Amino acid sequence: MPTIRVKDGRELMYEEWGDPGGIPVFALHGTPGCRLNRPTPDEERIAAAGIRLVTYDRPGYGGSDRDHGRRVVDCVGDVEALADALGIGRFAVEGGSGGGPHALAVGARLADRVTGVQCVVGVAPYDAPHFDWTAGMDPENVKEFGWALEGEERLTEELTKEEAKVRARVAEDPANLLDGFVLPEADVALLHDPRVQQLIRESATEECRNGVGGWVDDDLAFTYPWGFDVGELTVPVEVRYGASDVLVPAAHGDWLAAHIPGATARVESGKGHIGDPDESLAHLSRLAHGS
């Protein structure tokens, strides 16, 4: 897989999908995740949408070197370096789940290059005043962030065990990815979609191939100050989230939409955390074409 080296010597692994001459869109994967996360496994459909989709392993995931102690805002330099290496001037950026805050950081700090941002089922800042961060969140996620609050050593120990369980469950049946979570019907149905299952199989074997460092660093970064304020954003931002999401409850989307200047909120009734491939590609096309 292609890689670039950034200023501090770390290596980033990336992938491109779709139309090489299309409109560039960076898609930042969730937590955990990797460069293989994309709206649909059908690359011809991405190309038909006129999109040049760029994905990369955020630090510590897949084939990218770890950036120990990173903050959310630290992704900005990586995206800028990747865009420069690929000869991309202006681009749109989308981030899903744990990638949502990172996409917002890119939009805030690279406003001269970013045409628009989609933050999809993204978390709000942990230190947001008068905001109950875990309200409505499934106990499995609450438990995970409890480990993060106990510190890196405990979090690493527990996520190492959890990652092994995830691999085993996915090997048996990708629909079991989120076994133990009480999911809305929409998520349960999508976990049985063959396209979604293909993406789960691909990413589950790749995202933590060098350990859980990326996952650990994400969880810690979400509980620390992000290093930027969402009030800095001046580019067009769409905050999209499911009303029935139990991994990142809708209150997070509500908070982001209320605090990002000029943000458009798209609340999807009956939807959960997992994106439908057709709908996700349609939303990405809207972002790319500015409609």
What digits encode the pLDDT tens for the residues 11-67?
A: 999 999 999 999 999 999 999 999 999 999 999 999 999 999 999 999 999 999 999
Q: Is there a cis peptide before residue 59, judged by omega within 30 degrees of 0? A: no
> What pLDDT does 221 receive?
98
Q: Which of 197, 27, 170, 13 is nearest to 98 (CA)?
A: 27
Sign of the Cα pseudo-torsion (257, 37, 132, 227, in order): negative
Contacts of 115 (CB under 8 A, 6+ apart): 90, 91, 92, 235, 236, 290
Q: How far apart are CA 222 and CA 230, in angstroms?
A: 14
Strands 114-120 and 51-56: unpaired
Which domains, ranges and CATH numbers included, belong to the chain?
Answer: 3-289 (3.40.50.1820)
What digits encode the pLDDT tens for the residues 81-138?
A: 999 999 999 999 999 999 999 999 999 999 999 999 999 999 999 999 999 999 999 9
What digits encode the pLDDT tens for the residues 236-282?
A: 999 999 999 999 999 999 999 999 999 999 999 999 999 999 999 99
How does the average pLDDT of the chain come out, rounded? Answer: 98
